[in-house]
Structure 1
Amino acid sequence: MPTGPGLDRPVLTGARRGGGWSRASGGAALWARSDWGLVIAALGLSLVGALLVWSATRQVAGSAYLVRHLFTTAVGVVIAALVTRMGHQLLRAIAPLLYLLSVGGLLLVLTPVGSTVNGSHSWILLPGGFSVQPSEFAKAALCLGLAIILGERLDRGAAPNARDLALAVVVAAVPVGLVLLQPDLGSALVLGALALGVVAVAGTPKRWLALAAGLVAAAVVVALTTPVLSGYQRDRLTAFVDPDADPQGIGYQTRQVRIAIGSGGWQGQGLFEGRQTQGGFIPFQQTDFVFSVAGEELGFVGAAGLLVLLGFVVLRAVLVAARAQDAFGRLMAIGVATWLLFQVFENVGMNLGLTPVTGLPLPFLSYGGSSMFACWLAIGLVNNVHLSTYRA
């Protein structure tokens, strides 16, 4: 058995007593001790998502979207593997840099370099038809930033003080504000929910939590009552309150989504057999409304199965957080769990007509490179925390 240093930091020299392995050079023990339940569940979701995306797009684009979805999944797995191999202490050391890079990306997208898609100036177009959405990576960066700020004092056995909490509010408010300026209400809500989850687990007094919740609510009110949101996004929110307000636009789209899900019944109409999906009645079905493909073609049983898998990923992140050996790892894993849970709730809710349409993708299942990369980055972060719990 290897007797070298623990798994929570990179090792640049050989282990004592000959042999051994290190996180820096890789090794069988690293992968054997990984949270394979978490990885396999995420991979299963990504592969099922490839089938759903293919079903929604094959009539107009053949296998083009399928190939891209599989490619982004493969790249995402590589990202997760690299983050897994990174030492826990190294990840902790570079967390501030990653947060600053994320803020830089959000600033860059607001310049002429950024591009507008569906009323949101959230994208940076790349050669070859690819694009990057910095707000997706801001979610992982905020997990790291808040964990650094609030974890230091917790590791010393003390609760965060007013200075720590004020700094945490600023660290969260910067990306939330920049995302609202794009404007992207959905991603801003995810960032706000993520911040509340981390701050709550850090042992913040209730009065501070109430203040934080009030700030998030105030940001939403400002977005809804000022010209911050684009006309396209306002139509989405209006259609939630009154589906007949935009019968040829988003109102039509949401009605078709509910028809598709309702027609699936218990067992569904069969993959590639859904009338709404194969008829092309639902715009952007491969992104915002991929859950409707599952509801129509896989039925209640299939759609519920996907929700169980998504819930399993969130639960694994919570369990890893509970077993973490340091506050940084615990808060980071909780941030990931809150992020994924809120995003699943909002996406499925808007497919069922229970929440407004905000354009959030369904983690691992929706088509989109930035979303897929960010989700697999989250898996790598949680697995990194999981491995840090092993000691020599």
Structure 2
Amino acid sequence: MPTGPRLDRPVLTGRSRNGGIWSRASGGAALWTRSDWGLVVAALGLSLIGALLVWSATRHQSGSAYLVRHLFNTVLGVALAAVVTRTGYQLLRAMAPLLYLVSVAGLVLVLTPVGSTVNGSHSWILLPGGFSVQPSEFAKVALCLGLAIILGERIDRQAQPGRRDLLAAVLVAAVPIGLVMLQPDLGSALVLGALAFGVLAVGGTPKRYLAAAAALVAAGVVVALSTPVLSAYQRDRLTAFANPQADPQGIGYQTRQVRIAIGSGGWQGQGLFEGHQTQGGFIPYQQTDFVFSVAGEELGFLGAAGLLLLLGFVVLRAVLVAARAQDAFGRLMASGVAVWFLFQVFENVGMNLGITPVTGLPLPFLSYGGSSMFACWLAVGLVNNAHLAARRR
């Protein structure tokens, strides 16, 4: 047998190199084939319908500017979801603490002079080119990861979370909630609180602790409403819920016009770009807080109900992924996304219908806003990542 340097090792031919490349490519293709396409297509459909609704609400004043930005945000959001999906499951777990700390740093930064005030809330960081970032939106993603990593390891060891674990989880939730309330942004704080409550419940927290947490949240809301924590503008929005006539030329006018728009839609609506209230520009900030009123007026009850079914489908997919997750981290992470979307949809649609206070929360995927769109698509990426990990099991 011939001998010599490296002759006892297999030779890497061009064919085998091509095979390696093909193997990696086919592995990537398999990754996308196994993805939860029902979740992705539903979220994409909502984003594109949202583009039409935003365009209808803004074209009489801004032409196609908001439409183009909404579509750009959607494309970038899908790209972010793809990156999260492509990230290895174990790497995502390892990065969870770092991502949480980065999110908290963003919430701290917005409270400095770097942050800007919009509608009575110091929640934004303005960027060059007319862009802006709202760190509280990304805090929702980070909290899903932070709570999942804290509670998941104990559950995977077949043990219920102890007091120390629960205390750590409460602290992890309390930090971003407290920072968001300092802005102040009651709507985002409520979403974070509901998200934390849902993850703690799924994680097996005893009922007495859940009751105490609910009481703590209720006490926080009472304090926010009865003290100068909220700005005058935000208190007026909440007051208008209980008494729409309290500010007839301000927020009371806005909520009244929203109800008129939805009520005039009937079963089939007045037609896209044909709504009297929408096309007349009677509803301020309709493309953000009140985009659902565009659907109610122009698409009617059937169209608005279809959107709710599609949103419900996204929540249901997250619940199913949570139920099938390979470990507690995936289950808690997907559960957090499901609770987040469910609560935010309920609050946004409720304030359009007049059954919940106006808190300024956007409707996931549909409302105009880059930070909200990016956060929602990042959440889709998290759920899809957990779905793929379960499929590889």
TM-score w.r.t. length of structure 1: 0.94
Instruction: Give the deviation of 1:26 after TM superposition.
Output: 6.2
Q: What residue is the counterpart of 1:189 in the other structure?
A: 190
Q: Using the alignment, how far apart are the partners of 2:296 and 2:245 within structure 1?
A: 23
Decide which structure has the larger Cα Rg and report it.
2
Please show how residues 340-351 of structure 1 align to structure 2 within 5 Å: 340-351=341-352
Q: What residue is the counterpart of 1:8 in the other structure?
A: none
Instruction: Give the deviation of 1:211 after TM superposition.
Output: 1.3
Q: What residue is the counterpart of 1:310 in the other structure?
A: 311
Please show how residues 238-317 of structure 1 align to structure 2 within 5 Å: 238-317=239-318
C-alpha distance after superposition, 1:15-66 (max 9, x if no partner): xx9678569x961100000000000000000000000000000000000000
Q: Using the alignment, how far apart are the partners of 2:150 and 2:235 within structure 1?
A: 35
Instruction: Give the deviation of 1:391 after TM superposition.
Output: 2.6
Q: Using the alignment, how far apart are the partners of 1:229 and 1:71 within structure 2?
A: 33
Gaps of 5+ in 2: 1-15
Which amino acid is the alignment partner of residue 111 of structure 2? L
Q: Using the alignment, how far apart are the partners of 1:242 and 1:279 within structure 2?
A: 25
Judging changes above 3 Å, is the alpha-carbon distance between structure 1 residues 26 and 289 closer, same or farther for their aligned structure 2 residues? farther
Q: What residue is the counterpart of 1:36 in the other structure?
A: 37
Q: Percent identity?
A: 84
C-alpha distance after superposition, 1:221-263 (max 9, x if no partner): 1111111100000000111010000000000000000000000
Give yes or no for contact 1:223–1:229 (8 Å, CA) kept in 2.
yes
Instruction: Give the deviation of 1:219 after TM superposition.
Output: 1.5
Give yes or no for contact 1:257–1:282 (8 Å, CA) kept in 2.
yes
Give yes or no for contact 1:138–1:175 (8 Å, CA) kept in 2.
yes
Q: Using the alignment, how far apart are the partners of 1:317 and 1:361 within structure 2?
A: 19
Which amino acid is the alignment partner of residue 136 of structure 1? E
Which amino acid is the alignment partner of residue 325 of structure 1? Q
Judging changes above 3 Å, is the alpha-carbon distance between structure 1 residues 237 and 21 closer, same or farther for their aligned structure 2 residues? farther
Q: What residue is the counterpart of 2:145 in the other structure?
A: 144
Q: Using the alignment, how far apart are the partners of 2:23 and 2:223 within structure 1?
A: 53
TM-score w.r.t. length of structure 2: 0.94
Q: What residue is the counterpart of 2:385 in the other structure?
A: 384
Which amino acid is the alignment partner of residue 242 of structure 2? V
Matched residue SS, 1:55:
helix
Matched residue SS, 2:117:
strand
Q: Does residue 154 of the first structure (1) align with residue 155 of the second (2)?
A: yes
**How many residues are aligned here?**
377
Which amino acid is the alignment partner of residue 140 of structure 2? K
When the two chains are superposed, the root-mean-square deviation of aligned CA atoms in Å is 1.6
Q: Using the alignment, how far apart are the partners of 1:321 and 1:231 within structure 2?
A: 41
Q: What residue is the counterpart of 2:235 in the other structure?
A: 234
Moved segments of 4+, more than 4 Å:
17-23
Q: What residue is the counterpart of 1:98 in the other structure?
A: 99
Q: What residue is the counterpart of 1:11 in the other structure?
A: none
C-alpha distance after superposition, 1:163-198 (max 9, x if no partner): 000010000000000000000000000000000000
Give yes or no for contact 1:21–1:29 (8 Å, CA) kept in 2.
no
Gaps of 5+ in 1: 1-13
Q: Using the alignment, how far apart are the partners of 1:142 and 1:236 within structure 2?
A: 27
Q: What residue is the counterpart of 2:83 in the other structure?
A: 82
Q: Using the alignment, how far apart are the partners of 1:108 and 1:19 within structure 2?
A: 44
Instruction: Give the deviation of 1:97 after TM superposition.
Output: 0.2
Q: Using the alignment, how far apart are the partners of 2:245 and 2:21 within structure 1?
A: 69
Q: What residue is the counterpart of 1:324 in the other structure?
A: 325
Judging changes above 3 Å, is the alpha-carbon distance between structure 1 residues 18 and 68 closer, same or farther for their aligned structure 2 residues? closer
Please show how residues 123-134 of structure 1 align to structure 2 within 5 Å: 123-134=124-135
